């Protein structure tokens, strides 16, 4: 690793203001302080567009950078030096002059079922017809509609505490949330079932943190590499290449799963229609060194199986919703 300058430097870390984002950012800060005690790190929190618009379904806002744009502008304007993102929120195409410098070790990337009191002890397959499931993710919605068309699905926004409050107040019978977020906020006791890949493939990058900075800050990039987790990086680069090739933002029904065994990476992906009626799925396996090429290969396979048509319909629907608001 390139040696970090011996001169004292204050490094400004950008974060969203949400509780989960700040927990994640302070975790990164602690990791860096442990490795570079001679450097001062400061956290600068700011609200993003996605944090401000809480009364509209994420997919209908029509913006891939909902939780990142303000942070990226802060880096470009030299107000902050790097930003910590939930990697699943970070678009696959970054603004000119910015790079994904490091990806930290992944927490469990799966989705979790969280139940209202009246359904304690049940799993998702045991829930009755008409059960009201809360989710703000088209990916989760499409897969669950495909598997459980007899449920009722309702959008839910807000931070984790807000969503839990709505569940406990009776607005929903169940929520589908990320295991990683619940664990990071020490709310894992609310998890009733970790959904297996057969029910819900997770979002690209889910459970991992992505650290973004200016491409020309070579010293900082070298420093950030010290907390990167190579296995997580390879898995996530494959997933992001898959998503990039399909031109899908974080608010389209694209799910993935990655496994590494004996130096080989297996990437599974799905593309589904929002109503869950059309779903294409396949897997590829190859060398870790070719992680991004594997993602591209899988995207091409799914296109041949009908993914392009499914995504074209979804993008057209999103465009109509966006135009109707203007």
The model's pLDDT over 11-39, given as tens digits with 9 standing for 90+, comes to: 999 999 989 999 999 999 999 999 999 99
Residue 168 has pLDDT above 50, yes or no: yes
Q: Which residue did the predictor score with more confidence, 200 or 313?
A: 200
* 169 and 215, same domain (yes or no): no
| Rg of the chain over all Cα atoms, to the nearest angstrom | 20
Q: Where are the alpha helices (DSSP H) in the chain?
A: 19-35, 49-52, 58-61, 69-76, 138-147, 160-168, 179-184, 218-224, 230-246, 291-304, 307-325
pLDDT at position 314: 85
Is 57 a domain residue? Answer: yes
Query: Could you confirm whether 51 is annotated as catalytic?
Result: no
Q: pLDDT by residue (tens digit) across 220-243? A: 999 999 999 999 999 999 999 999
Across the chain, mean pLDDT equals 90
* 236 and 220, same domain (yes or no): no
Q: For residues 119 and 122, what is the distance between their CA atoms, to the nearest angstrom?
A: 6
**How far does Cα 60 stand from its chain's mean position?**
18
* 22 and 99, same domain (yes or no): yes
Strand partners, 53: none
* 153 and 101, same domain (yes or no): no
* 85 and 224, same domain (yes or no): yes
Q: Which residue did the predictor score with more confidence, 321 or 129?
A: 129
* 59 and 142, same domain (yes or no): no
Q: Which residue has the tokens 């699905």?
A: 153
> Phi and psi (nearest 5°) for 71?
-65, -40
Given 51, 55, 81, 89, the catalytic residue:
89
Is 83 a domain residue? Answer: yes
pLDDT at position 67: 65
Residue 155 has pLDDT above 70, yes or no: yes
Q: 254-261 and 264-272 as β-strands: parallel, antiparallel, unpaired?
A: antiparallel
Is 242 a domain residue? Answer: yes
* 89 and 162, same domain (yes or no): no
Q: For residues 213 and 28, what is the distance between their CA atoms, to the nearest angstrom?
A: 14
Segments forming the whole domain that contains residue 13: 1-105+208-228
> Phi and psi (nearest 5°) for 51?
-75, -30
Q: pLDDT by residue (tens digit) across 59-94? A: 443 445 556 889 999 999 999 999 999 999 899 999
Is 56 a domain residue? Answer: yes
Q: Give how many domains the chain has, as a whole number.
A: 3
* 280 and 320, same domain (yes or no): yes
Is 199 a domain residue? Answer: no
Is 166 a domain residue? Answer: yes
Q: Give the sheet arrangement for strand 40-46, strand by strand.
A: 40-46, 10-16, 82-86, 209-214, 98-103
Is 201 a domain residue? Answer: no
pLDDT at position 2: 44
Question: What is the average pLDDT across 317-321?
Answer: 69
Indicate the burial class of 190 (C-beta count within 10 angstroms; 0-12, 13-18, 19 or more): middle
* 219 and 92, same domain (yes or no): yes
Q: For residues 15 and 19, what is the distance between their CA atoms, to the nearest angstrom?
A: 10
């Amino acid at each position: 690793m390139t040696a970090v300058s011996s001169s004292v430097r204050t490094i400004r870390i950008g974060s969203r203001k949400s509780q989960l984002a700040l927990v994640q950012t302070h975790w990164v800060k602690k990791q860096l302080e442990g490795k570079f005690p001679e450097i001062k790190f400061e956290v600068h929190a700011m609200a993003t567009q996605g944090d401000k618009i809480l009364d509209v379904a994420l997919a209908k806002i029509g913006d891939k950078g909902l939780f990142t744009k303000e942070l990226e502008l802060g880096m470009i304007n030299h107000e902050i030096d790097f930003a910590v993102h939930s990697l699943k929120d970070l678009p696959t195409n970054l603004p000119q002059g910015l790079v994904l410098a490091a990806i930290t070790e992944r927490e469990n990337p799966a989705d979790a079922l969280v139940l209202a009191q009246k359904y304690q002890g049940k799993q998702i397959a045991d829930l009755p017809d008409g059960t009201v499931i809360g989710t703000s993710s088209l990916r989760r919605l499409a897969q669950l509609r495909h598997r459980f068309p007899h449920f009722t699905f309702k959008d839910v926004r807000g931070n984790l505490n807000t969503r839990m409050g709505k569940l406990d107040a009776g607005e929903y019978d169940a929520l589908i949330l990320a295991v990683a977020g619940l664990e990071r906020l020490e709310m894992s006791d609310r998890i009733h079932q970790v959904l297996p890949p057969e029910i819900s493939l997770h979002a690209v990058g889910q459970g991992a943190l992505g650290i973004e900075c200016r491409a020309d800050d070579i010293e900082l990039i070298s420093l950030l590499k010290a907390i990167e987790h190579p296995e997580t990086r390879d898995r996530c680069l494959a997933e992001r290449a898959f998503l990039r090739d399909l031109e899908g933002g974080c608010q389209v029904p694209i799910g993935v799963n990655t496994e590494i065994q004996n130096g080989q990476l297996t990437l599974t992906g799905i593309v589904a229609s929002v109503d869950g009626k059309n779903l294409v799925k396949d897997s590829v396996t190859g060398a870790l060194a070719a992680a991004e090429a594997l993602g591209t290969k899988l995207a091409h396979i799914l296109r041949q199986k009908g993914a392009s048509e499914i995504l074209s319909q979804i993008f057209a629907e999103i465009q109509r919703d966006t135009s109707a608001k203007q």
